[in-house]
Amino acid sequence: MSRGMGGPGMRGGFMTEEEKAAAPKVTWPLVKRVLSWLKPYRLQMVIVLIAIALSSVLSIMPSVLTGRIIDEGLIARNMQALVTLIILSLAVTLGSNLIGVLESWLNTWIAQHIVFDMRNQMYRKLQSMSQRFFTTNNQGDIITRMTSDIDGVRQVITSTFTSIISNVITLIVALIAMFQKNWVLALLGIVIVPLFTLPTRKAGKTRWALTRESQECNDEINGILNETLSVSGQLLVKLFNKEDVEYEKYVAANEKMIQLNIKESMAGRWFRVVITTISSVGPMLLYLVGGILMMKYDSSITVGDISVLVALLGRMYGPVNSLLNIQVDWLRAMAMFTRIFDYYDMPVEIQNPENPVHLTDPHGNIRFDHVYFYYDEDRMILNDVDFELAEGNSVAIVGPSGSGKSTTVNLIPRLYDVVDGRVTFDGIDVRDIDLSDLRDNVGIVTQETYLFNGTILENLLYAKPDATQEEIEDACRKANIHDFIAAQPDGYNTMVGNRGLKLSGGEKQRLSIARVLLKDPTVMIFDEATSSLDSISENAIQEAIDPLIDSRTSILIAHRLSTILHADEILVLKDGHIVERGKHKDLVELGGVYTELYNTQFAKAKELDTQA
Ligand code: ATP
């Protein structure tokens, strides 16, 4: 806990223009909401309050005892009183510190538990957010909320709240003690303290500005490191031969940082000079006025009294300085809470219905009933998409890039909800079905394969944690990847690397097919990757997919002719409209969009087709 000159951390006392502009309105509901997080720990908080009060009072005692040590011990030349008072003073200091330890421990405990609660709730909340949220928001921002903002709360609890209380108590006790000794000198003290804390604030401000600048510089350096030392960033740097350029950028930022650090530490040095000089003026003034009073007017003042007053004065600078910063600390804390609460309050776009229908006997009949959809209101992506897929059948969706194929299939497991019309599963609107039932029954092999950094086995088990070795191998055989895995020195325990980057594109795809197969969904969706794979990889994937299409209800976003040929129906999508539909033969003869796709996209496959 920080109760030093600058309040909670040196950064405490000042706000940036941005912060001032974004300062939240502190309303009663907001305060109440903040307090509601503290509520479960109110008993502990009461103990903390008592401990703070006790330790603050005790910490003032030695200053008061100093006076008696001087008067009753030293000046009166009373050895016994001297020793007793010294022991008492030491005991009080020890007591105050021991209580301080208890208080810090409890305080940290409370803060950590509140952070624990907040983090968990935030993680749950973020998980409930829709795909739209994650595609729209910056990943860095999301992580910052989870980490820095919530960590800020910990700081607020361990430092701001407690320092306010302890400072107020210390000040009150010190003032009472001062007035008891001598009211004239006490009044002088009251005038001196604020007078001398203000200039230190000014010095602090300069240093704070430098700290901020160096923080920004630090962010810049982190940015460079993050971008250029990540797997994909490093690849880009290498491929474009930018090592030297990046190195120079890094050196420049690093140099700026060094300059700032030197400046900052020197500003700190001057700051200390100012503080020590100023804080020595106060006691001198008290000695002077006290001396005049003692020698010329009021003989009842003792040397001890004056020493006590000087010691108490020294104890007042810190709390006064901190309390001058309270408003800023308070606003900053509230801003942090507001940012966190904003996240908690974000509407959840895709929710489980109130009375969900459970899929007890799923068949996988899918119907798109005049579906309209957009991501942003000003641009319709799907226009009156209407088709049906009966159990056991398969439909291939083809169309130019960006025509809305992936969007269409994403509506089935409710990654997004339709804007108009409806998507049904076994005749039930997907929005009425229990979300986890729905997603259990729909498996998507996405265009981009995501694997966690772990072993092949761990990645597969993600789909079905209790899968047996046979089930796993069976799925991998079907996905045409078992032989590859078995040939690895570590077999199923082979590490896939960061995001699976140690595997080839084709291997990753087959692995993700195996993963979906393990999940064993009623409806299977393949969003075939557009990225060209070599023909051996393509064949391997093809061999994996073909039997699956024949054996289960499936939707294929197809770029390869052989996949398309396996489908029972082909839908041709263009600009979000189904412009043609039917069998391959009929569509080719139509001479429309499909024919064009056939002539261009499927050209390579077409050659093979005609050869066959
Ligand atoms: P491809 O064959 O290239 O994968 P696609 O037919 O699957 O294309 P979609 O991914 O469905 O096309 O995208 C349809 C349109 O919607 C595109 O124009 C795309 O720019 C837009 N789009 C896709 N995702 C989003 C999103 N999250 N937010 C806004 N617009 C999006």
Give per-residue pLDDT as tens, 444-477: 888 878 888 889 999 999 988 999 999 999 989 8
Phi, psi (5° rounding) for residue 554?
-145, 150
pLDDT on residue 504: 82
pLDDT on residue 603: 59
Asked, for residue 54, whether it belongs to a domain, the answer is yes
Ligand 1 pocket check for 380: Cβ under 6 Å: no
CA distance 450 to 453: 10
Q: Which two tokens stand for residue 257?
A: 């940082």
Asked, for residue 497, whether it belongs to a domain, the answer is yes
CA distance 114 to 400: 51
Mean pLDDT of 488-510: 84
Quick one: the chain helix, strand, coil %, rounded to 5?
70, 10, 20
Asked, for residue 196, whether it belongs to a domain, the answer is no
Residues 73 and 31 in one domain: yes
Quote the percentage of the chain above a pLDDT of 90. Answer: 37
How many residues are listed for the chain in this entry? 612
CA distance 537 to 539: 5
Give yes or no for a contact between 471 and 518, defined as CB atoms under 8 angstroms apart.
yes
pLDDT on residue 534: 64
Residues 208 and 90 in one domain: no
Q: Output 266 or 428, whichever has higher pLDDT.
A: 428
Asked, for residue 553, whether it belongs to a domain, the answer is yes
Of 520, 541, 573, which residue constitutes the final position of a domain?
520
Residues 118 and 173 in one domain: yes
pLDDT on residue 532: 55
Ligand 1 pocket check for 403: Cβ under 6 Å: yes
Q: Which atom of ligand 1 is nearest to the CA of 576?
A: 14
Residues 405 and 437 in one domain: yes
Of 300, 318, 337, which residue constitutes the final position of a domain?
300
Asked, for residue 470, whether it belongs to a domain, the answer is yes
Q: Output 221 or 424, whichever has higher pLDDT.
A: 424
CA distance 150 to 116: 9
Which pairing describes strands 442-445 and 379-389: parallel, antiparallel, or unpaired?
Answer: unpaired
Ligand 1 pocket check for 601: Cβ under 6 Å: no
Quote the percentage of the chain above a pLDDT of 70. Answer: 90
Residue whose CA lies nearest to ligand 1 atom number 15: 402
pLDDT on residue 251: 95
Asked, for residue 75, whether it belongs to a domain, the answer is yes
Mean pLDDT of 190-219: 74
Predicted confidence (pLDDT) at residue 185 exceeds the cutoff of 80: yes
Residues 370 and 435 in one domain: yes
User: How deeply is 165 buried, as exposed, middle or buried, from its count of CB atoms within 10 A (0-12, 13-18, 19+)?
Assistant: middle
Q: For residue 5, what pLDDT band results from cuts at 50, 70 and 90? A: very low
Give per-residue pLDDT as tens, 316-326: 878 887 887 77
The label of the residue with tokens 């008993």 reads 43
Q: Output 205 or 110, whichever has higher pLDDT.
A: 110
Asked, for residue 192, whether it belongs to a domain, the answer is no
Q: Output 596 or 422, whichever has higher pLDDT.
A: 422
Residues 283 and 339 in one domain: no
CA distance 245 to 251: 10
CA distance 21 to 135: 28
Ligand 1 pocket check for 44: Cβ under 6 Å: no
Mean pLDDT score across all residues of the chain? 85
Choice from 129, 350, 381, 564 to test ligand 1 binding pocket (greatest atom count within 8 A of CB): 381
Of 501, 520, 539, which residue constitutes the final position of a domain?
520
Q: For residue 41, what pLDDT band results from cuts at 50, 70 and 90? A: very high
For 431-451, b/e burial (b = at least 16 CB within 10 A) is bebebebbbbbbbbbbbebeb
Rg, the chain, Cα only: 36
Mean pLDDT of 509-517: 88
Residues 156 and 271 in one domain: no
Ligand 1 pocket check for 404: Cβ under 6 Å: yes
Predicted confidence (pLDDT) at residue 223 exceeds the cutoff of 70: yes
Residues 214 and 113 in one domain: no
CA distance 295 to 575: 98
- How far is CA 264 from each of CA 11, 12, 206, 213, 321, rounded to the nearest angstrom? 13, 16, 9, 10, 21
Q: Output 497 or 101, whichever has higher pLDDT.
A: 101
pLDDT on residue 416: 94
Ligand 1 pocket check for 291: Cβ under 6 Å: no
Q: Output 487 or 550, whichever has higher pLDDT.
A: 487
Q: Which two tokens stand for residue 62?
A: 């030695």
Question: Residue 501 is part of a domain; what is its CATH number?
Answer: 3.40.50.300
- Torsion sign across C-alpha atoms 454, 455, 461, 466: negative
Residues 73 and 148 in one domain: yes
Give yes or no for a contact between 293 and 184, defined as CB atoms under 8 angstroms apart.
yes
DSSP state of 375: E
Q: For residue 199, what pLDDT band results from cuts at 50, 70 and 90? A: low
Ligand 1 pocket check for 138: Cβ under 6 Å: no
Asked, for residue 195, whether it belongs to a domain, the answer is no
Residue whose CA lies nearest to ligand 1 atom number 8: 402
DSSP state of 6: T
Domain that holds residue 265: 201-300
Predicted confidence (pLDDT) at residue 588 exceeds the cutoff of 90: no
CA distance 333 to 326: 10
Residues 13 and 87 in one domain: yes
CA distance 279 to 284: 9
Predicted confidence (pLDDT) at residue 609 exceeds the cutoff of 60: no
Q: Quote the number of domains for the chain.
A: 4
Residues 557 and 426 in one domain: yes
Ligand 1 pocket check for 341: Cβ under 6 Å: no
Choice from 406, 409, 445, 528 to test ligand 1 binding pocket (greatest atom count within 8 A of CB): 406
CA distance 377 to 148: 34
Ligand 1 pocket check for 130: Cβ under 6 Å: no
Residues 336 and 371 in one domain: no
Q: Which residues pair with 527 in a beta bridge?
A: 557
Mean pLDDT of 346-355: 91
Question: Residue 326 is part of a domain; what is its CATH number?
Answer: 1.20.1560.10
Give per-residue pLDDT as tens, 522-552: 999 988 765 556 666 677 777 777 777 777 8
Minimal CA–CA distance to 541: which of 496, 475, 480, 603?
480
